[in-house]
Amino acid sequence: MQTEFPTLRDKIRAESAARAARNAGFEALTIEAHAAGLRAVAQTECTPMAVSDGRTLWVVGDGPCGFAWVKVPANSAFGRWALKRELFRKSISGGAMLWVTDFNQSHQRKQAYARAYADTLRAAGIEAFADSRLD
């Protein structure tokens, strides 16, 4: 059902207000998702990794090295907003991607952050998924 507006200016004003409210919600959601990610990282116990060159053995307390990211559709309202705000960047495989750069090289911590972030977005009705790979 289409709402009638007395003038085009009224329609533009209403759409602008709705967009501002939606964007404020996106801002709050990203803050919530980041906090959820940080909580997940704090609860993550990394399994140490041993590395050897045949003579010397090193123990890496942060576990295996790797990468993690969160992906959303770039053509969604949230995706367009996140790209415009430069919180996400365009992915070469399509969509908009949040690359997890914190937590040193720890695959386990990066993965925990990405999963919690994506879970928070999905709980708010935004199509999102987390992925990762070992280095």
The tens-digit pLDDT sequence of the chain (135 residues) is: 466 888 889 888 988 888 888 889 999 999 999 999 999 999 999 889 888 888 999 888 888 999 999 999 999 999 999 999 999 999 998 999 999 999 989 999 999 999 999 999 999 999 999 999 998
Structure tokens belonging to residue 102: 């914190």
CB 89 within 8 A of CB 83: yes
- Strand segments, DSSP code E, in the chain are 49-52, 57-60, 66-72, 89-90, 96-99, 129-134
